[in-house]
Structure 1
Amino acid sequence: MTEQKAQLEQQLWNIANTLRGKMDADDFRDYILGFIFYKYLSKKMELYANEVLQPDALTFQEIEGHKMEADYMAAVKDAALDKLGYFLAPSELFSELARRGNAGGKSQFILGDLAKVLNHIEQSTMGTESEDDFGNLFEDLDLTSSKLGKSENDKNELIVKVLTHLNEIDFDLENTESDVLGDAYEYLIGQFASGAGKKAGEFYTPQQVSSILAQLVTVGKDKLKSVYDPTCGSGSLLLRVAKAVKNVSAFYGQEMNPTTYNLCRMNMIMHDVHYKSFDIKNEDTLERPQHIDQRFEAIVANPPFSAKWSASPLFMSDDRFSSYGKLAPSSKADFAFVQHMVHQLDDNGTMAVVLPHGVLFRGAAEGHIRKYLIKDRNYLDAVIGLPANIFYGTSIPTCILVLKKTRTSAPLSDRVLFIDASQHFEKVKTQNVLRDVDIAKIIDTYKSYTSGNFEEATTEKYSYVATKAEIEENDYNLNIPRYVDTFEEEEPVDLEAVSNELRAVAERSRSTDATIKQFCDELGINTPF
């Protein structure tokens, strides 16, 4: 399976590179992921239609031209809209468009037909339960863009080339036990993120960080009623949580960027998450929250670091912020996201959020909010320091805050775990990467802590279980070195040896000076000293 996955990833990346020279990374990402998604929808449609038609000994391709074509097509469409959420006719399948585009071994004009098909996928959902999940999914796949070529023929030739190559790849969707394609899709998103610089943080969380967050919010659980990400990007965090348990009943997310919002919905569907099982919204989470009346069992997030927000005084009457008495500053929305997530967290839930280190010690309103969360509400469960330079587009060190609403059972109710994992990583090219062993150490330490085994959860120069009294003594400053002593004592300096070495250096210098003077005298020139 690993070999098959690696082969598919490489094949898809090679095809993506046929577009690389034509446009920038953001654009060719949207095209290649859009075409892969179209092929996925087509194959799922064909497989399901064949299943529906099996009792009549027919395939989906065979009903076109059949004397009962209208009846069969209507039956398949009704079934598909309920099961898959969309419908494609046999003539609209990816394989058919690719075949027509390369008929006779020459590039045939299919751009108009392709645009109609992509539009029809969305139109087929109108008035159905899946309408919101498929609406405008292909809006970033502009087949009229000059980025594809100067002339219509140039654009068509490039698109036909991409479709033809994709058509030759077996997505292996018949294998229901495998998610090779979904993983390959995630791989591509990661590859695009690695080359996207600062923009990468808008849509992708590195897999090793996603894995930590997912495992933290699922400790002691093998299934979840719901998981929520208020800044969901491409959905990688939500999908990573699904890999950490046997079952997640429902996925919720909100994403402000329309392109990334589309990518998230595609990613959900590509990982075979049923359209009835996810609810992703396109809006600003802090200003216009879309799931405000719901509570979630698990919440994960990698919000934009120190983003700006309105911090309008009107929010002082918002239930998410009102009890704190202060709002996060307009120049740094980090704690506004934390407050939002706490509000949405269910009583039995766990949330894990990645934030810049400043949230641990900054004062003023942020210090006030931090104190309220710890002293008044007792929600803070763990603080985990991560290495610098593990996120795309920024080299700053980051931390993970773990919060729970229910921490009433002693002795956990009076403790907070601190982990300093900042020095545990591998340098890969210009990026620092958390290895499996580094991730396992974080999770094992957290599990020991949650089971009440504080001795095992405490490791010299790595982790410490602090009491709330200790945190109060530090005026609710959570800077990790205050709790985890990472000081490395330097070896004592042998001053006598240093003195002897300096004398030896001076003697060698005098000897060298004498030799230079001798040469200068022989040449009849002045010495340089």
Structure 2
Amino acid sequence: MNKQQLATKIWESANKMRSKIEANEYKDYILGFIFYKYLSDRELKFLKEEGFPQEDIETLVEDDAETVKYVRERVGYFIAYKDLFSTWLKMGKDFDVSNVTDALSAFNRLINPSYKMVFEGIFNTLQIGLSKLGDNSASRTKAISDLIHMIKDIPMNGKQDYDVLGFIYEYLISMFAANAGKKAGEFYTPHEVSLLMSEIVAGHLKDRTEINIYDPTSGSGSLLINIGRSVAKYINDEDNIKYFAQELKQNTFNLTRMNLIMRGILPDNIVTRNGDTLEDDWPYFDEANPIETYNPLYVDAVVSNPPYSQHWDPSNKETDPRYARFGLAPKSKADYAFLLHDLFHLKPDGIMTIVLPHGVLFRGGEEGQIRRNLVEGNHIDAIIGLPSNIFFGTEIPTVIMVLKQKRENTDVLIIDASKGFIKVNKNNMLRASDIKKIVDAVIARVDIDKFSRKVSREEIRRNEYNLYISRYVDSSEGVEKWDLFASMFGGIPMSEIAELGEYWGAFPELKEALFTKGEGPYAELTFGNIEQTVNEHPAVKSLFSNFMGAFGDFYSFMKNELITNMASLNVLKEEAVLSAEIFARLTSIPLINKYEAYQILADEWAKTSVDLEVIQTEGFNAVKKVDPNMVIKKKDGKEEEVQDGWIGHVIPFELVQRTLLSDEYEAVMQKEGRLAEISSEYDEILDSLSEEEKDSSVTTESSDAFVAKEVSEKLKEIYADVDTQEIKALNAYAELSRKADKLAFISAHDDVVWSNMEASHDGTYAKKAVNAYLAELQCVFEFPEESFEAKIIKVSKLMAEEKEVKAQVKADAAALHMKTKETIESLSDEQALALLEQKWIFPLTESIKQLPHAVIHVLVHKIKALSDKYAVTYSAIESEVKETEASLSALFDELVGNDYDMKGLSEFQRLLKGE
């Protein structure tokens, strides 16, 4: 399984196993055990690399002071063999909850003193919460045993495995957050928001060789980790990134430390603290001697997503250097207190990003004064309005504020990014293209219509330092206008044609080819077939020609990048290379949105990058491997994991079938197509039945399917009622018993085709042969095509065919499945490379090719909409109404009735005439 499949499997199992335990609590147990497995596996790896034989590893005990010291000094902690995660798994039925409690207690005793800040108390939440996993020791033992077996397959070693581990950890945190309601905000910043903030920071820090980053409300640590990953695209040595984190809640603080440690970050590069950021400024002192060690730390970047509008105590903080320059936030809303704390710890050339509620942009009082001082101090670099409902557990509108200590420019870039998102379940989510567009706008500081604008300090002053986004950037869609003259008399307003100016600029003379001048400021369509006119126009053809010229060798470029350089390319940096290439090729192509192209790349890269990581870690032969397809099935009322065939380790089975086994694949597809046709034929017959026929026993209670058994019974009834002259004669023959009577009957009845039966040696026909022939005659009897009987006979034949085809599909698909497995395992290098091309490059390049077609499709749609808008005038509608009224009134004149009827009709006619 790849990391996404493994993460999904673990989440599904965990969600079932947690039973009545709240998601927010259960996450601490599962994530704690994952971390303990990581530490155990890390120690084992170290011991093996140091040359410890297995028999020596199995004798590791806490009493061995020399070995304990040796391991602690190099790993940072010591775990005895009996307490290793792998040992728990080997214990089988002998495993007990006490093994866990003893191991966690021992861990706290055996931490290297130098790494106490990193490891001390990291399992406190897990230790305290074990009691909630069951009512007694036996139930807790079972719950823990199930949990550790669920996570046992997570790999923990090597560069790729760190990524898999980190991905799974982050995935589980996000899924628990999605199920944790309002408590989600305590520990989770959505990955897309985190990535957006990280990319902005990374763009500012890309030329640094050593970087310190800090999150004062660290939660799960995802913001810090994403900044590290984003910055790592530019820095040569990831060990030159140092991470500072502070978190108030103990269990969330433990998440921060676990997450950072498991990403392979050196313990020396992790500085963390469990404390109140606003009450005790940090990092700037030694915990043991805070007064004499005052030494403020200044970092290259601060990133934070603090709790929104939290109460705090501003008492006696007027002289606090964090707030003295700007003012104190009101006690009911600590938003600016967090912001000013972050800003204080920035180096002069540093950058910070912070997520805050939308209200910080316009609320008055103390906040208004702080905002004024920040603007006048030239610290606010950019403001980004996010889509609503983007955070788990809250629908509060939010913004990202980007601030710096020193800036050359004095304007503020304001971005309204609230319209760019997709809906995922209950929440909105930023797409990769949305993030890219925002980051590009921030770095380049560009004005984009209805999206971003640089606002001068003078304009902000005129607005009394109110930074409400819609005051500066109008992202609303224009209200549709209707031209009164065109609505009454027809024609297309030239002013509305001019609104498509970007198209007329890109396609010279196309407007003139489509429209002719009409009366006054109005025009008429020249041709009825808009699509043909547009597509055949030389300027449009030129767009396609230029596009093909720009992307003519794009496939070969991609092949060289991903196939030729597969082993050596940097997966982390490659997406930026590819996006830059696509953007460069689109530079001279009008109308095509480069961010739509980027989204195509991002969607494909999400899959391709996983494959590349696997190949670079496991070697090229990983392409020629298959894995057991493990699924959860119920057996005897219990769920168990069983194998259901195979899946490609890298190459999907269907891709191999479509390319290398196309004949067998097409044969199965044709049969599956026939099954779909049969299903449609069932539906057609059902639709043709009368209500009385649908209520018969041959259909289900809901009348949406046929019942096989009842159809068979009804068929017997139908055939039993079939009666022809030949059938009558055969039935009469069947009643005879004497040979002479039978021979005489045969001689006298030429209405029976006797040759259709096999005669006995005495010239008569046995009862078995007669009955078989009778059944055959009944079956071939033709009922009227639309009769109920004909429909039931057709259904019966379809059911027989369906049964046969299903059996064939099952057998053929099973044979194809095994042949696919064998084909993957015996691929030549050339075949494997060709399949990777098909998987990685073909879908991307084909989707990119469709971009100009999409542009033209939108243009044609807009022209048609404009034409249809004024195609029918109000004058024409009014004339048609009057004609209809007159016709109806005339019909009334022909009606007769009693005095009251006629009086009513007369009044109705008067109303129709508008009298």
TM-score (norm 1): 0.86
Pair 1:440-2:440 in alignment: no
| TM superposition shift of 1:475 | 1.6
Partner residue in 1 for 2:166: 182
Identify unmatched segments of 5+ residues in structure 1. 450-456
- The residue type equivalent to 2:220 in the other structure is S
Q: Secondary structure at the match of 2:188?
A: coil
Aligned residues of 2:162 and 2:262 also touching (Cα < 8 A): no
Alpha carbons of structure 1 residues 503 and 419: separation in structure 2 relative to 1, 3 Å: farther
| TM superposition shift of 1:224 | 4.4
Partner residue in 2 for 1:262: 254
Partner residue in 1 for 2:405: 405
Aligned residues of 1:386 and 1:400 also touching (Cα < 8 A): yes
Alpha carbons of structure 1 residues 291 and 435: separation in structure 2 relative to 1, 3 Å: same
Q: Of 300, 305, 308, which aligns to 1:302?
A: 305
Q: Aligned partners of 1:521 and 1:282: how far apart in 2?
A: 94
- The residue type equivalent to 2:242 in the other structure is A
What does the per-residue CA deviation read over 1:151-193, in whole Å, with 9 as the maximum and x for residues that have no partner? 21111122122223333x1414145675211111111111101
Partner residue in 1 for 2:457: 468
Higher helix share: 2
Partner residue in 2 for 1:242: 228
Q: Aligned partners of 1:350 and 1:438: how far apart in 2?
A: 21
- The residue type equivalent to 1:213 in the other structure is M
Q: Aligned partners of 1:276 and 1:302: how far apart in 2?
A: 25
Pair 1:192-2:192 in alignment: no
Q: Secondary structure at the match of 1:351?
A: strand
Partner residue in 1 for 2:30: 32
Alpha carbons of structure 1 residues 7 and 319: separation in structure 2 relative to 1, 3 Å: same
Q: Secondary structure at the match of 1:217?
A: helix
Alpha carbons of structure 1 residues 219 and 63: separation in structure 2 relative to 1, 3 Å: closer
Alpha carbons of structure 1 residues 522 and 172: separation in structure 2 relative to 1, 3 Å: farther
Alpha carbons of structure 1 residues 431 and 487: separation in structure 2 relative to 1, 3 Å: closer
Q: Of 20, 42, 53, which aligns to 1:59?
A: 53
Pair 1:363-2:364 in alignment: yes
Q: Of 308, 320, 324, which aligns to 1:318?
A: 320
Partner residue in 1 for 2:419: 423
Alpha carbons of structure 1 residues 499 and 172: separation in structure 2 relative to 1, 3 Å: same
Pair 1:486-2:489 in alignment: no
Aligned residues of 2:162 and 2:264 also touching (Cα < 8 A): no
| TM superposition shift of 1:374 | 1.0
Q: Aligned partners of 2:275 and 2:221: how far apart in 1?
A: 15
Partner residue in 2 for 1:158: 143
Q: Secondary structure at the match of 1:298?
A: strand
Q: Aligned partners of 1:519 and 1:23: how far apart in 2?
A: 78
What does the per-residue CA deviation read over 1:476-501, in whole Å, with 9 as the maximum and x for residues that have no partner? 11111222233433232355659766
Q: Secondary structure at the match of 2:415?
A: strand
Q: Aligned partners of 2:110 and 2:897: how far apart in 1?
A: 95
Q: Aligned partners of 1:519 and 1:204: how far apart in 2?
A: 79
Pair 1:138-2:139 in alignment: no
| TM superposition shift of 1:17 | 2.7
| TM superposition shift of 1:503 | 9.8
| TM superposition shift of 1:438 | 0.4
Q: Secondary structure at the match of 1:459?
A: coil
Q: Aligned partners of 1:331 and 1:349: how far apart in 2?
A: 29
Query: Which shows bigger deviation, 501-510 or 20-29?
Result: 501-510
Q: Secondary structure at the match of 2:203?
A: coil
What does the per-residue CA deviation read over 1:451-489, in whole Å, with 9 as the maximum and x for residues that have no partner? xxxxxx111111111222222222211111222233433
Partner residue in 2 for 1:10: 8
Query: Which shows bigger deviation, 380-389 or 138-147?
Result: 138-147
Q: Secondary structure at the match of 1:303?
A: coil
Q: Aligned partners of 2:276 and 2:383: how far apart in 1?
A: 27
Aligned residues of 2:314 and 2:330 also touching (Cα < 8 A): yes
Q: Aligned partners of 1:494 and 1:297: how far apart in 2?
A: 57
Alpha carbons of structure 1 residues 331 and 220: separation in structure 2 relative to 1, 3 Å: closer
| TM superposition shift of 1:77 | 2.8
Q: Aligned partners of 1:121 and 1:85: how far apart in 2?
A: 11
TM-score (norm 2): 0.51
Q: Aligned partners of 2:61 and 2:308: how far apart in 1?
A: 55
Alpha carbons of structure 1 residues 70 and 268: separation in structure 2 relative to 1, 3 Å: closer
Alpha carbons of structure 1 residues 179 and 487: separation in structure 2 relative to 1, 3 Å: closer
Aligned residues of 1:224 and 1:298 also touching (Cα < 8 A): no
Q: Aligned partners of 2:885 and 2:130: how far apart in 1?
A: 72
- Higher RCO (Cα < 8 Å, 6 or more apart): 1
Q: Aligned partners of 1:75 and 1:523: how far apart in 2?
A: 116
Q: Of 43, 46, 69, which aligns to 1:45?
A: 43
Identify unmatched segments of 5+ residues in structure 2. 233-237, 285-295, 489-872, 909-915
Partner residue in 2 for 1:80: 71
Alpha carbons of structure 1 residues 264 and 178: separation in structure 2 relative to 1, 3 Å: closer
| TM superposition shift of 1:147 | 2.8
Pair 1:284-2:276 in alignment: yes
Q: Percent identity?
A: 38
Partner residue in 2 for 1:453: none
Q: Aligned partners of 1:395 and 1:505: how far apart in 2?
A: 50
| TM superposition shift of 1:114 | 1.4
Pair 1:231-2:204 in alignment: no
Q: Aligned partners of 1:220 and 1:374: how far apart in 2?
A: 20
Q: Aligned partners of 2:302 and 2:435: how far apart in 1?
A: 19
Alpha carbons of structure 1 residues 374 and 64: separation in structure 2 relative to 1, 3 Å: same
What does the per-residue CA deviation read over 1:380-408, in whole Å, with 9 as the maximum and x for residues that have no partner? 1111111111111111221111111121x
| TM superposition shift of 1:109 | 4.6
